[in-house]
Amino acid sequence: MPTPDQLPRSKAEIIFIFLFLPVVVGFYLIYKYPLWFADELDAFYLFGKQPAFWYGLTYTTLVSVTCLYILVRGRNAYSIRKEPEPLNRYQKGKFSMILFSQLCAFFLVPFVIIPLSRGVDFWHDLPTEPVKSAHVYLWPAFTSLGTALYVFVLITLVVYFFGKRYCSWFCSCGNLAETVGVTPWGRKWVMKYTPRGEGATKLEGVQKIMMVLALVTGVILFTDLMKLASVETIVEKSLSFQYFVTDLIFGSIIGVGSYPFLGTRIWCRYGCPLASWMHWLGPTIKTKFRVVANGQCKGIGLCTKTCPMGIMVENYAHKDKTPIMGTFGLKETPCIGCGGCISACPTKALSFKNIMNKNE
Ligand code: SF4
Ligand code: SF4
Ligand code: SF4
């Protein structure tokens, strides 16, 4: 039976890609910069609701329906077998959490519960500036105490115990990547087109630059907020860069638009400043997160092909087809703990380190 990466693009997939690209570019431009195309902020509101609502509804529906399908089907979504084995506890937990976070934290609370609790006319949104830092790009942590606690305290604790699982269990961007990545086309995009190898890994340095730029923006905004230094043009230029380059071009258009060509995690691997921060944090605070190989590897390589982060997983499980008991964590790789490699391995040669076992 051919693995998903061996299948050519079908006609339906090619038509989808032709429609997908202009829709992604056009939609994000109108959504983030409506005043480029019209005189009023609410020019593109539909049935009185802002584009963010319809975007959130579509996004959440796609993620939720896929999660429900995986959970109800109850079969290993990473297996290449015709009759996959049952979905394991880890993946059940992951897809349940994705469903919960996407539905509640990223849609119902911001778009339904908060507007209703304010007693405003639900079907008549007031003209508002679109959000241009939707994916916690690190710099907002310098502008409010709540976000600072979230990024510097909560996420630090999460990284210590769970590594970068925030990216595969909770983050809204990651929710789309995880769910699309287990659909038939999405699996092929991940397995066939995710950049791998030395060059692709070296290029991950771009993400460090994105992190430094986000931190610099954060410090500029903080000094401005504290009235320590307020150079209006520098504040404006830094924010414009974050809004236009980081949020629109990289995070939105390339981040989503590149799914069919480069897999589902290009933004998460090369762009997201928060991911780079977590990657740096992991070894610094000695995170307990690791993936371990148990010496049962047969060198089949499905783990590497399944990894959406382009990690050469098999290098830790065999050397020239001879099994080894290697291990990796955030010091060696940008692993997001999705568990895809573990679920894909037919010989059960991989697992997460058990953080409750003190002997390991
Ligand atoms: S890398 Fe960034 S955008 Fe991607 S899932 Fe992680 S936190 Fe979210
Ligand atoms: S760890 Fe499993 S999937 Fe990866 S190469 Fe070895 S046998 Fe194949
Ligand atoms: S190494 Fe495994 S757990 Fe880590 S990101 Fe890749 S597939 Fe997911």
Q: Where are the domains of the chain?
A: 4-352
Is pLDDT above 80 for 78? yes
Rounded distance between C-alpha atoms, residue 215 and residue 208, angstroms: 10
For the chain, percent of residues with pLDDT exceeding 90: 89
Radius of gyration in angstroms for the set of CA atoms belonging to the chain, rounded to a whole number: 21
Decide if pLDDT at 358 tops 60. no
Q: What is the pLDDT of residues 188-234, one digit of tens each?
A: 999 999 999 999 999 999 999 999 999 999 999 999 887 777 778 88
What per-residue confidence (pLDDT) applies to 357?
Answer: 59
Torsion of CA 274, 169, 260, 279, to 10 degrees: 30
Dist CA 273 CA 294 (whole Å): 33
For the chain, percent helix, then strand, then coil, each to nearest 5? Answer: 60, 5, 35
Q: Give the model's pLDDT for residue 360.
A: 44
What is the model's pLDDT at position 134?
A: 64
Over residues 297-316, the mean pLDDT reads: 96
Tell me what pLDDT residue 135 has. Answer: 63
Summarised one tens digit per residue, pLDDT across range 100-144 is 999 999 999 999 999 999 988 999 999 999 888 766 779 999 999
Ligand nearest to the CA of 308: 3
Q: Ligand 3: which residues within 6 Å by Cβ?
A: 291, 306-307, 309, 311, 313, 335-341
Q: Is the dihedral of CA 312, 317, 319, 320 positive or negative?
A: negative
Percentage above 70 pLDDT, the chain? 98
Q: Is the pLDDT of residue 359 over 60?
A: no
Of 336, 345, 353, which is best to mutate to test ligand 3, by the most ligand atoms within 8 angstroms of its C-beta? 336
Sole residue written with tokens 């799914």? 259
Question: Which ligand sits closest to the CA of 91?
Answer: 3
